[in-house]
Amino acid sequence: MPDYPGNPGDTLIFENDRVRVWSMTLAPGQLFDFHQHHHDHVVLWPEAGLAQAQELGDQEWGLTQEARPGFVLYRTVGHREPLTPHRIRNIGEDTVTHYVVELLEKSPRAESEPWVFNDRGEIR
């Protein structure tokens, strides 16, 4: 498999030896192309948004995130291998920005685990 960018956002806004924080801003219909997550991470949606994700090799956009203000997701990537490359697009009517906080220390788990999130949104 070819290498895909490991940046899960369009702008790096903070970094130290333990965390890296990215923002991703998408206009209506805008796409953020294929990338991979190499670290466990938290995604924060300060405002409402509606986005879809598509994993590499899938014909359909199989995952929809419907965020209300304050939606928080956590994903264990694990230390064995990065997540399957995926891309995301804004399917809402407004420009949205969300933030990805990468935890740079080695994951305590070997394998990836499903998303965990609060009650301010949903993943379908």
Domains of the chain: 11-123 (2.60.120.10)
pLDDT in tens, 48-60: 999 999 999 999 9
Q: How confident is the model at residue 46 (pLDDT cuts 50, 70, 90)?
A: very high
CA distance 69 to 119: 10
Nearest to 103 by CA among 43, 35, 42: 42
pLDDT in tens, 64-114: 999 999 999 999 999 999 999 999 999 999 999 999 999 999 999 999 999
CA distance 116 to 52: 17
Q: Is 39 exposed, middle or buried, given 0-12, 13-18 or 19+ CB atoms closer than 10 A?
A: buried
The pair of three-digit structure tokens given for residue 3, joined into one six-digit string: 């290498």
Q: How confident is the model at residue 3 (pLDDT cuts 50, 70, 90)?
A: confident
Asked whether residue 8 carries a pLDDT value surpassing 90, the answer given is yes
Distance (Å) of CA 10 to CA 14, 50, 100, 108: 13, 18, 10, 27
Nearest to 83 by CA among 60, 61, 53: 53
**Residues with Cβ within 8 Å of residue 30, at least 6 apart in sequence:** 89, 90
